[in-house]
Structure 1
Amino acid sequence: MFLEELKDHTKLSLSFSGCGFLCVYHAGVCAAIREFAPHLLKVPILGASAGAILGACITSDVCLSKAISVVLDVVAKARSFTFGALNRDFDLMKIVRQNLDAALPKDAHKLCSGRLHISITRFSDFSNRLVTDFQSREDLIDAIVCSCFIPVYGGFDYPKYQGEKYVDGGISVNQPVLDSNTITISPFAGENDICPSDTDSANLLGLVFSGTSIRFTMSNLMRLLVCLFPPPADACSKICQQGFEDALRYLFINGTEYD
């Protein structure tokens, strides 16, 4: 992105990749943008899986501390079970739904319609759908829950959106974009606009998973594990700080004047 594009934020959009429990990284990114370039939080938001949770909170004007608490509460509850989210007694989707219901305002669907774009995968043929019009608050929450549901890992009770079964949006499109002006955000080192640099690794090889660029580094391997197995509180803090620093670096390199 160039300085002119960052200034004319009406052309921009933000995309938060799916990343499981690594979504605290997105919270750090949002904190940096809110402090130094708050106008970027007013642009269209796209999200897949856990990225849709942060996207909904931003678009609904939920305070960032409350949004972070939603994520950390899920992490804490998952860690309280043996084997975390894999424990049969742990209902991840139920907790996600409850936390969204507690955090989102009553008019969240009105605030999000036309501005928040959620990536979901239709179970019948695994095709992608990017939904942006929400008829009710429950309709919005249903879309987010569907976008976060990983088959088997999240259970066997497949969630529905408008009467049809959908699963994790990251399976089909993990990094949704509107056009070339979409700023891509991912906790994985790669070719994304805002992401870790992993300068300790000289490996330039990587892959693109459902639109998300991922380099072959040891740090990325560890991040993949964190996606599914929730980290302790101190690790969450470091991941969040990483997101803040990476976003700040992006804003500095691209010359935004933070106003």
Structure 2
Amino acid sequence: MAQYLTSPLNFALTETSFFGIASLGSARCLLDHGRKVLDLVQCYGGVSSSALAAAVLLTSPDKIQEYLEGLYQLVDEISPLQYGAVTPGYDLIASVRAVLSNVLADDAHENASGKLYVKVTELRLVDKYTHVTVHHVDQGSSSCKQTKGPRYFEVGDKCWQLGNEIEISVFQSKEELIEVLLGAIYVPWFPSWHLPRFRDKFIGDATLSRRESFPVATSFSFPNGHLVKLSPGPRSHVTMRDKLAVGWIDTSGQRFDISSLQLFRVGDGLFPPPKDFLQTYLAEGYEDAIRFLKFYHAYEDNDKGLYKPRQREYAIIHGINDLK
């Protein structure tokens, strides 16, 4: 049975490595070959680096290429450093702030309010010498499907407790919008990084509060409408290797698990791969969007873009669940 997109439509980008370059590839494809689909979208959602890609697509679509070039410049900035983005004295958050400040328009917060939904985790400053009871300690193991930690992170002379996952969709200024986007990618592991703050709350990457070793679907409190999630293509699906968990111990002495997929994403952000790898991410994201548009009979055939559909490979669709 043919599938078609109908209005109103809410659109969510999935988590991707190194500041959502694959998501930027999808965004470029939608601008090249899916303008009619974008006209139907009422709200965008993003988690981690995909939130930044969603913000640029929503508020500054004409700056997608400029944002991409800014990320490539980040690679040039980080690569010579001895320890990548974790080199003492280097502030990755400040560098990303400069890129966003340059790309986003002065009224970006007005265009984003009520239309952009960003997931973050609240970070609470606690006494590092607070007694930790057995109830704070994760009793799981790397063989568990779900784990409970981590709960605490010690960074320099401070200790942070993970709070609840929160959703932000109203922004009072461009600076506040940028601060929320920086919070979406912040991890409280490096004392030289600026700590993002949303009003009276410190915030970090939403994936920090996830307790699962498996990647999980994210829900947003969008207004009524059809929700579509642009996810990686079938050849990018999680494998059993990605579901293996690595055991770590945090500052409270508790054990927690992190899947190798998430570990890869963290490493990919701190030690960015060469540009040719990043261009591969971009092409794969573009191709995912082509597959998405063709499935919904919404692909606009024209001479735009760098990548063209591989006609014979789109004859068999793996199923609607691969595209939602």
Q: How many residues align?
A: 240
Question: 1:19 touches 1:227 (CA, 8 Å); kept in 2?
Answer: no
Structure 1 segment 167-182 matched on structure 2, within 5 A: 167-172=204-209, 176-178=218-220, 181-182=226-227
Query: Match for residue 234 of structure 1?
Result: 276
Q: How far off is 1:118 after superposition?
A: 0.9
Structure 1 residue 250 corresponds to structure 2 residue 287:
no
Question: Which residues of structure 2 form unaligned runs of 5+?
Answer: 125-161, 211-215, 246-258, 302-324
**Matching residue of 1:60:** 59
Aligned residue identity for 2:78: A
Choose which of 235, 239, 253 in structure 2 pairs with 1:198: 235
Distance in 2, matches of 1:112 and 1:141, equals 11
**2:229 matched residue in structure 1:** 184
Letter in 1 for 2:119: S
Structure with the higher fraction of residues in helix conformation: 1
Deviation digits for residues 35-77 of structure 1, max 9, x if unmatched? 1112333421111221111111111124221121232222322
| CA distance in structure 2 between the aligned counterparts of 1:100 and 1:55, rounded to whole angstroms | 12
Q: CA deviation at 1:204?
A: 6.3
| Match status 1:146 vs 2:191 | no
Equivalent residue runs for 1:47-196 within 5 Å: 47-63=46-62, 64-124=64-124, 125-153=162-190, 155=192, 157-172=194-209, 176-178=218-220, 181-185=226-230, 194-196=231-233
Paired with 1:161 and 1:2, the residues of 2 have a C-alpha distance of: 44
- Which residue of 2 is the match for residue 212 of structure 1? none
Between the aligned partners of 2:52 and 2:217, the Cα distance in structure 1 is 14
CA distance, structure 2, for counterparts of residue 23 and residue 105 of structure 1: 20
Are residues 83 and 9 of structure 1, via their aligned partners in 2, closer, same or farther at CA, if it must alter by over 3 Å? farther
Amino acid at match of 2:273: P
The offset of 1:177, in angstroms, is 3.0
Cα offset, 1:157, TM superposition: 4.4
Q: CA offsets, 1:161-206, max 9 Å, x none?
A: 1132111123236854337933223xxxxxxxx303227x995686
Q: Does the C-alpha gap of structure 1 residues 123 and 68 become closer, same or farther in structure 2, counting only changes over 3 Å?
A: same
The 1:155–1:39 alpha-carbon spacing in structure 2 relative to 1, beyond 3 Å, is: farther
Query: Hey, what's the Cα distance between the residues in 2 that align with 1:241 and 1:154?
Result: 35
Partner of 2:24: 27
Distance 1:2 1:108, change over 3 A: farther
SS of corresponding position for 2:204: strand
Gaps (5+ residues) in structure 1? 186-193, 210-215
CA gap of 1:239–1:20, structure 2 versus 1, over 3 A, is: closer
CA RMSD of aligned residues (A): 3.2
2:313 paired residue number? none
Q: Which moved further from structure 2: 232-241 or 175-184?
A: 175-184
Tell me the distance in 1 between the aligned counterparts of 2:267 and 2:61: 29
Partner of 2:256: none
Q: TM-score, normalised by structure 1?
A: 0.79
TM-score calculated relative to the size of structure 2: 0.65
- Paired amino acid for 2:44: I
* Identity in percent: 22
C-alpha deviation, 1:154, in angstroms: 7.4
> C-alpha distance in 2, partners of 1:53/1:154?
23
Residues 19 and 245 of structure 1: CA distance in aligned 2, closer, same or farther (over 3 Å): closer
C-alpha separation in 2, matches of 1:19 and 1:246: 13
